[in-house]
Amino acid sequence: MNKFYLGLRVFLVLACLCFVSFPVDAAVKRYQFDIQVKNVSRLCHAKPIVTVNGMFPGPTIYVREGDRVLVNVTNHAKYNMSIHWHGLKQYRNGWADGRAYITQCPIQTGNSYVYDFNVTEQRGTLWWHAHILWLRATVYGAIVVMPKQGTPFPFPKPDREEVILLGEWWNADVEVVESQGNSLGLPPNMSDAHTINGKPGPLFPCSEKHTFAMEVEQGKAYLLRLLNSALNDELFFAIADHNMTVVEIDAVYTKPFSTQAILIAPGPFSDAPIPIDNKTATAILQYKGIPDTLIPKLPLLPAKNDSSFALNYEKNLKSLNSPQYPANVPLKVDRNLFFTIGLGKNSCPSCLNGTRLTASLNNITFVMPQMGLLQAHYYNMKGVFTTDFPEKPPTPFNYTGAPLTANLGTSKGTRLSRISFNSTVELVLQDTNLLTVESHPFHLHGYNFFVVGTGIGNFDPAKDPSRYNLVDPPERNTVGVPTGGWTAIRFRADNPGVWFLHCHLELHTGWGLKTAFVVEDGPGPDQKVLPPPNDLPPC
C-alpha cells in the first residue's frame, strides 16, 4: 500500500504551498502584501474572508540568513490590520514586530506600512500572521529562511522540500464568532474543520477540489516544513506507515530523532472543558506510479488527550549544541520570575451567567492600551502603562491541587515587567487549577529562549532546578506549559524594546492571558531601540 493520508488531529498545523524564485546573491527581498477580501468556499459553504494577495493561506516569504526584508502591507479590508513575523528576533527593531497596540498601531483601511527587518543568526522555518482580533484565522503564511550561501544543512540534503501549514476553517464569519462569545462571556464556537494547506481533505463534504496531495518517489528524502496556524488547537501530525526525523524547531537546528507523530502548538489538550475542534484533516501522500484508484491508508494518531506522548515528545527535543551551532544557555541568573496561569470570572451583568470568563498571569488580566506600548516607552509617555507587574503571585497556594471555583475575580491593568539590558532571566510558568488545569503554548516576541525544565504538579524551587538541562535544552520562541504542570525558560535580555509575552491560544489572549517585558537600552550606540520609521501607522 503506497498511498497514504497525511493525518492531523487535535493539534493544528497549517500548510501553504507557494514557490518563488530569487537571485542567489540577492541581499534585499521585497514583497507586496495586499490585504483584501475574497470569496472562498470550503465544506460546501462560501463566504468572504480576509486574505493576503487573494491567497488562503497567504504567500511564503523566502529569504537567506543575513538578508534584509521589506514587506509593503496595504490594507484594502474593512478591518484594521497588523502583521507579526513570528519568531524573527527583530533586534532593536520592535517597530517591525507587528503586534497591534504593543509595538505599533494597526494599519488602518486604505493605508500602507513597510515592515523593514533583517534576518540574522536564524535559519529554518518560521511564519507570519495577522496579530489583531482573530484575523489570523485566514491571514497567515510561511517564512523559509535558508542558510547562508555555501553553508549546508547539518543533516543529509533532502531531495525535495514542502511547506505544510495547518489551520482551521469556520463556516461562519470568525469575527462574528469571537464577538458572540465575548458578548455571552463564554468560549466562542469551535472551528468546523482543520485544514492542511488550507484544505480539509476527503473526510469532509465538497472536498473534491479541497484536498492537498503531494507526489513522492520511493527511496527519496523529503523535508517537510511544518507550521501550526490554528487559533486554538494544538495538533498531532503523522504519515501512515512512515516515521519522521525531527531536525529543526523554531528556526533552530536540533539533535535529530525519529518519531511516528509530532506535536505542534498552539492549543489546549481536550482534557479541558473548553471545546476544541476534534476533527481530523487529511491530505494524500501519493507515490509516483501508484494508481489514483487505490484507497489511501489513514495514520494512527495519538489520542486527543495523550499527555504522556506530548511530554515524551517534548523531552526528545534538544539543541544541536555543536561548535558551529552552540547552545549558549545562561548558567547564572540575574532575575527570577514566577508567573501563575489561571482562569477567572469577572462580573458582567450583560453576559449569559452574569460573569465573563477571563484569564490572568499572577492574577492580573492584561488590559490592551489604545496606542503602541513601544511608542509610549520610546517617547517616555506617562499614563499608558506601569512597570509594576509582580515577580511572583500575590498569594501563594496549592496551584495544581483541588479545583478552586470560588472568589476567582482578577485585577485588571496594563502592567509590565522592566528588565535591565543584558541581564539573564529565568521565568517559571506555572499552570493552576483555577476552574481547571489546561495546557498553554506561550510565545515571547523578540527573543529565543532555552527550555531548561518542565514537570507536572507544582514547581519546587528547592528541588526542580537541580534537574534542569543546562547543556543542550531546546531553543524556542514558543513553549507549551503542560496541563497541571510548569515550564522553566531562560534567556538573556539583550534586545531592547517592549516585547509581548502571551498564550498563543487566541481565545486566552483575548481573555487577558498576556503581558510584556520592557527591556531597557544598553550603554552602547548599537544597544538602543532604533528610531521609529516615518511611515509608522498612527492610532
What confidence tens digit (pLDDT) does each residue in 450-465 have?
999 999 999 999 999 9
pLDDT at position 26, please? 52
Angle at alpha carbon of residue 74, lines to 72 and 76, rounded to 5°: 165
- 417-451: per-residue pLDDT in tens? 999 999 999 999 999 999 899 889 999 999 999 99
Please name the residue ranges forming H helices in 320-469.
373-378
Q: Is 98 left (phi over 0), alpha (psi -120 to 50) or beta?
A: left
- 342-365: per-residue pLDDT in tens? 988 888 999 988 989 899 999 999
Please name the residue ranges forming H helices in 71-194.
174-184
pTM for this predicted structure = 0.93
Q: Which helix (H) or strand (E) holds 263?
A: strand 261-264
- 120-163: per-residue pLDDT in tens? 999 999 999 999 999 999 999 999 999 999 999 999 999 999 99
**At residue 265, does pLDDT exceed 80?**
no
pLDDT at position 14, please? 26
Expressed in angstroms, the distance from the first to the final Cα of the chain is: 58
- 83-119: per-residue pLDDT in tens? 999 999 999 999 999 999 999 999 999 999 999 999 9
Which residues lie closer than 8 Å to 380 by C-beta, 6 or more apart? none
As a whole number, mean pLDDT of residues 234-242 equals: 93
What's the Cα-to-Cα distance from 376 to each of 104, 124, 532, rounded to whole Å?
Answer: 10, 33, 12
Q: What's the DSSP call for residue 81?
A: B
What's the Cα-to-Cα distance from 406 to each of 348, 361, 362, 410, rounded to whole Å?
Answer: 16, 18, 17, 12
pLDDT at position 390, please? 98
Domain boundaries, given as residue ranges, for the chain: 335-519
pLDDT at position 277, please? 61
Please report which confidence band the pLDDT of residue 188 belongs to, taking 50, 70 and 90 as the band edges.
confident
**At residue 182, does pLDDT exceed 90?**
no
Residue 57: is the preceding peptide bond cis (ω within 30°)?
Answer: yes
What's the Cα-to-Cα distance from 232 to each of 77, 343, 452, 504, rounded to whole Å?
Answer: 24, 16, 25, 8
Q: Which CATH number fits domain 335-519: 2.60.40.420, 2.80.10.50, 3.40.190.10, 2.30.30.140?
A: 2.60.40.420
**At residue 389, does pLDDT exceed 60?**
yes
Asked if 83 contacts 33 with a C-beta cutoff of 8 angstroms, the reply is: yes
pLDDT at position 291, please? 86
**At residue 56, does pLDDT exceed 80?**
yes
Asked if 125 contacts 110 with a C-beta cutoff of 8 angstroms, the reply is: no
**At residue 529, does pLDDT exceed 50?**
yes
CA torsion through residues 47, 50, 53, 58, sign: negative
pLDDT at position 269, please? 40
- 293-331: per-residue pLDDT in tens? 888 899 989 887 788 888 899 999 999 999 999 999 999
The cell for 337 is 520570575
**Rounded CA gap, 139 and 116, in Å?**
19
**At residue 222, does pLDDT exceed 80?**
yes
